Chains A and B, each alone.
Chain A
Amino acid sequence: MATMVTSTKKVTDKGIGSSGKFPGPNGKKPGGNGWHGGDHSKPKFSPASYRITMWVVLAAVVMMFAALSGVYIFSSGEQRRPVAMPRMFFVSTLLILVSSGTYKRAKRSLERDRLRAHKRWLLVTLALGLAFVASQLIGWRELANAGVYFAGHPRSSFFYFATALHGMHLLGGIGLVLYILLRSLRPVWPLQVEKNLTWTGIVGLYWHTMDGIWLWLFGLLLIFR
């Protein structure tokens, strides 16, 4: 367990060359670097670490979808009849857009300390997310009925693959939403609030990014038929 030195900064007159000894108290303010002071009796929590990590994770996810989009755009459109966008995918788009909105409501409720509203909006988001996944499955059924199969022309395969990959990531997002829902059920104390807010923030980042990726894929599939 860390012991914090609480004495004021003291310049030792051992001078330089006394390796291994450092004068003064030290520690870190949450979220910043190199800031002294504050109450060190409680364990520190750094929202910034969580936020940076989520941005980093999203950068990787976006890169992968970018690479796949490149594959789609640059694979030849020849030897293939145009594929109609399954109607259910329009429903998917609606569902996910609304779910981003409900998630925002959930976040705002938490910021305003309205815990019951927070939990409710989270549940709605969850339901919308699951409905989205269901709509994807139905959409695939539509594609198969129209004679577009996974093992076929790369552009057809891409239809299935990209949406499946997105769906998988969305399921991960659903897991995260479930997680913050569970967190919100626990009794609340001051540090917990900060943690819950941070988690809600970063899961929101993830969720909205999934939304964005879906819109991108939807647009791509629509334009490059």
Chain B
Amino acid sequence: MSVESHEGVHRHPAPTGFIRKYIFSVDHKVIGIQYIMLALAAVAVGMTMSLLMRLNLSWPGTHWPILETLFPTGAPGGVMTPEFYLSLVTMHGTIMVFFVLTTAPQGGFGNYFLPIQIGAEDMAFPVLNMLSFWVTFVGFIVILLAIFVEGNQSIGEWFAGLGPSFAGGSGTVGPIGGWTGYAPLSALGKVAGPGQGAGMNLWVISIAIFCIGSLLGALNFITTLLNMRTKGMSLMRMPLTCWAWFTTAVLALLSFPVLLGGGILLLLDRIAGTSFFIPSGLYVSGLLSGSNPNFPLHTGGSPILWQHLFWFFGHPEVYIAILPGMGATSHILATFARKPVFGYRAMVFAIFAIGLLGFFVWGHHMFISGMSPYSAIAFSVLTLSIGVPSAVKTFNWLGTLWGARIRFTTAMLFALGFVSLFVAGGITGLILGQSSLDLAMHDTYIVTAHFHLVMGVASIFGMFAALYFWFPKMFGRFMNETIGKIHFWLTFVGVYTIFVPMHIMGIVGMPRRYSSFAEYRFLDSLHPLVVLVSVAAVITIFAQILFYFNVFWSIFKGKKASDNPWEATTLEWTTATPPPHDNFAGVLPTVYHGPYEFAVPGAPNDYVMQTDVGADVPSGNGHNGHKH
């Protein structure tokens, strides 16, 4: 039977040939690894950019020879221009949020493990799944192209100049607008300054392509989870990772189309002369709207509309970034605590609540945007409510640890780190969610501290935990635990050192997206903190080299792993390591218990796998609150 005739549930032989097996593979496991590899590449680019940003902020005016060599226009004499800095800010944010946080947790680990954890042979539509990766990959290539296209060239000029010249003269490494690309700055084009040219077009196009890739992925997750669970795998027996991936897919499904729509409108404003986000009567760079071919007539648009569209997507997006990490943390905590997850049902409800409420709070990014102050009040109260399910999850994680027998593997350390960092980052949401306080805090470093701790750190810790945990199953070998633990300690202490001082900087009043703080006296006292943050950042970023080495070395030379080295309970550990092409060697499993039956009294081992027959354990169908 040919590979093409997948019909929802499929039987097809394992592919042969390098291209079919590793490049254009329809096997969800290969696709999952491809997403993870993409994220690893993207995060390296993103981290390098943040390193350069920190160098500029802490030691301004320093001549960095490497900058001078690579970017003679953007950093003449080795000193960054402001537009170069801002392009780093923009690309760092865009690449990290989209190509790291929205790929690896869902498309990477979700793709690999959702089908196995529910007992399916593959996703419902493997070809669409493959497409979702390659479309995302194309999006990544397009955003990388934006690095090479000088910020305010037209695409025609760029081609005429024959190709990228890293050393020849990039004035920026991409567009300037922040990852949020507020209009009209992002909509006006070259007339609004450097970094508003072709690079911005590529930025929008890349994001639009990413939206499509993400949507293709989401539909597979939803269909597979709803329709392809194996016998006995009821919804309430699914691991929490599956609940998280499912909810994330629904969030993606409903939020990415809005970004896609908004992005197309922005592109039309830029290249087709429309005015969706550009009002009339503008005077930009000495030109009145409509008075000059460089600045055509615009009328009737509303800049705030872009913000509404962007943040209607943008807020669910941050939950897309964190939910899989929460699922993995629950899963890994239970496994190495040797205890069931505390409050499984509450955890499921919390995931739903976070997902649902996530759609109603986007206005908290826009309190002082000029939107109605009454809606600001509504958004503010709703925002504080969304802290409740997050807090509930934290309590349940602590409850999972209570009375446990904790095994401190590297995966467990990162999962514990997730809990610590999620609390640290999430709790400042209580400050930023209040509209009154936002009057002082908007666009300061306290915002930067908040979202980096939750997205840029907690979420990443979730991914680290997932990789250390599932690596043996995926590659048949362990990652090195010693190197892993060093990686953990350096990173854990490092990220706290980087981001806690940023709260203080925000309180004093350090604004976001400033390429230099030298202009303002009220910021002078912060310089020691700025340097501390940068030193910690340099150390933490370089510590990740250990991680990269560990990953790639262990794939080939790591200690061999058995089928269930962690003595875990869920379906992925019942099958071979690594799993065969159809996951279960032709015999789909039957599930008898819930996913976290550890420490069952009377059982021979301290874990009962979901497929184990005859154990005297609760059936796990949503039974909670046992008196034990």
Residues of A within 8 A of B (CB): 1-5, 11-12, 15-20, 22-24, 26-28, 30-31, 33-36, 43-50, 52-53, 56-57, 59-61, 63-68, 70-71, 74-76, 78-80, 150-155, 157-158, 161, 165, 195
Residues of A within 8 A of B260 (CB): 64
B9 contact from A28, A61, A66, A79, Cβ within 8 A: A28
Q: Is B582 an interface residue (CB 8 A)?
A: yes
Complex: A19 Cα to B564 Cα, angstroms: 8
Question: Closest chain A residue to B262 by CB distance?
Answer: A67
| Binary interface encoding of chain B residues 222-261 relative to chain A, with 1 for a CB under 8 A from any of its CBs, else 0 | 1110111111111000000000000000000111111011
Complex: A161 Cα to B10 Cα, angstroms: 40
Complex: A57 Cα to B260 Cα, angstroms: 14
A59 contact from B226, B254, B608, Cβ within 8 A: B254
Q: A5-B587, A16-B612 are in contact. Are A34 and B272 (CB under 8 A)?
A: no
Question: B590 near A43 (CB under 8 angstroms)?
Answer: no
B151 to chain A, nearest CB (A): 24
B222 contact from A52, A66, A74, A158, Cβ within 8 A: A52
B328 to chain A, nearest CB (A): 21
Question: B574 near A79 (CB under 8 angstroms)?
Answer: no
B585 to chain A, nearest CB (A): 9
Residues of B within 8 A of A12 (CB): 613
Residues of B within 8 A of A63 (CB): 253-255, 257-258
Residues of A within 8 A of B582 (CB): 2
Residues of A within 8 A of B508 (CB): none
Question: B227 near A59 (CB under 8 angstroms)?
Answer: no
Complex: A45 Cα to B13 Cα, angstroms: 17
| Binary interface encoding of chain B residues 269-295 relative to chain A, with 1 for a CB under 8 A from any of its CBs, else 0 | 000111110001000000000000000
Complex: A19 Cα to B574 Cα, angstroms: 6
Question: B276 near A56 (CB under 8 angstroms)?
Answer: no
Question: B272 near A150 (CB under 8 angstroms)?
Answer: yes
Residues of A within 8 A of B300 (CB): 75-76, 78-80, 153-155
Question: B223 near A49 (CB under 8 angstroms)?
Answer: yes
Question: B604 near A26 (CB under 8 angstroms)?
Answer: no
A188 to chain B, nearest CB (A): 16
Complex: A217 Cα to B545 Cα, angstroms: 53
Can you list 18 A-B contacts (CB < 8 A)?
Answer: A1-B11, A2-B121, A15-B614, A17-B603, A24-B590, A28-B228, A34-B230, A44-B9, A45-B8, A53-B223, A56-B222, A57-B219, A59-B254, A63-B253, A66-B258, A67-B309, A71-B276, A158-B276
Q: Is B437 an interface residue (CB 8 A)?
A: no
Q: Is B218 an interface residue (CB 8 A)?
A: yes
Q: A11-B614, A34-B230 are in contact. Are A16 and B257 (CB under 8 A)?
A: no
Question: A26 near B10 (CB under 8 angstroms)?
Answer: no
Question: Closest chain A residue to B232 by CB distance?
Answer: A34
Q: Is B385 an interface residue (CB 8 A)?
A: no
Residues of A within 8 A of B254 (CB): 59-60, 63
